[in-house]
Amino acid sequence: MVNKVTVIGSGNWGSVVARIVGVNCAEKASQFERQVNMWVFEENIKVDDTEYKLTEYINTHHENVKYLPGFKLPDNVGFEVTEKELVIISDVVRDTLGITCGALMGANLANEIALGQFAEATIATTVEWQGRAFQQLFNRPSFRCAYVSDVTAVEVCGALKNVVAVGAGFVDALGMGNNTKCAIIRLGLMEMMAFAEEFYGCTNRNVFFESCGIADLITTCYGGRHTRLGKLFVETGKSFEELEKEHLNGQKLQGHQTAEKVYKMLFAKGETAVKKYPLFVAIYKVSTKEIAAQDLFQCLADHPEHM
């Protein structure tokens, strides 16, 4: 069976994905159709004083000059969170479209992958043959994917690591070194695993030691936009919304919003639940300016992991 591939989204990661799958689809004609369509959020951009529609520029120049400038796309490419809880996006797609949906996550800073630097990722789907097909679609010599079946755990990792990364940014703003940041990462991982099990029934902790878990957490805390803007949040006193507009060129932040949803879920469950996740709670309270960034250290000192 020959599969058709479409990329929905044209941010920096969507563009990197298009580069990877575009090459594989061209090379593996027995498995995938050569043409890869890319759905783009239409925007007007200006290049060298000339105004273009983003889709027009991508289709004529084969470059997403706004979100992934300097990297050519293959010529065969053309172009949720609720009020109360964290939503698993694959569930939303499955329930809305009536199809099986998996996830791909990992230690994947888009620009590094675009440069061809080696990286790993985790593919999750409950249907094994789909997982193997996705490995064929995404695997390149410098980009290797492992397959797991626990889609929920992989997605929960992707959401919660952004909360921890915001906390890592707070630590950077306070001038702390690698010892402190590593403490944030370790304690954050422990709370991620506990939260995933308590609220989503994710009991297989091995998933958290795949690229989607500890590796993604580390790279986000050291090189991701959530850490960078968490640092600026403390240093400048500006809101995350202001910083997003000033520094992200159309990209979005999820960490502070996820922290709010996590806190509401814990609060709804009661005081005992709140006390079990002091790092998540402290990051939320710093992000809402309920407490000062310096108060994060009291959370680290009194964490249940140290009792």
Catalytic machinery residues: 161
Residue in 204, 197, 210, 212 with CA at minimum distance from that of residue 273: 197
The answer to whether 71 and 19 have CB atoms below 8 angstroms apart is: yes
Q: Are 124 and 212 in contact (CB under 8 A)?
A: yes
Sequence-ordered alpha helix ranges (H) in the chain:
12-27, 54-61, 89-97, 110-114, 128-138, 151-173, 178-200, 216-223, 225-236, 240-247, 255-269, 271-276, 278-287, 296-301
Q: Which residue has the tokens 């969170």?
A: 81
CA-closest candidate to residue 123, choices 156, 92, 145: 145
Q: Which amino acid is at 172?
A: D
Distance, in Å, from the CA atom of 14 to the CA atom of 18, rounded to the nearest integer, reads 6
Tokens of 161: 């690591």
**Interacting residues of 49 by C-beta distance below 8 A, sequence separation 6+:** none
Please give the Cα distance from 93 to 88 (Å, whole number).
9
For residues 71 and 60, the answer to whether their CB atoms sit within 8 Å is no
Judge contact between 207 and 213, C-beta under 8 A: yes
Dist. CA 144–CA 124, nearest whole Å: 14
CA distance 225 to 199: 27
DSSP 8-state class, residue 214: I
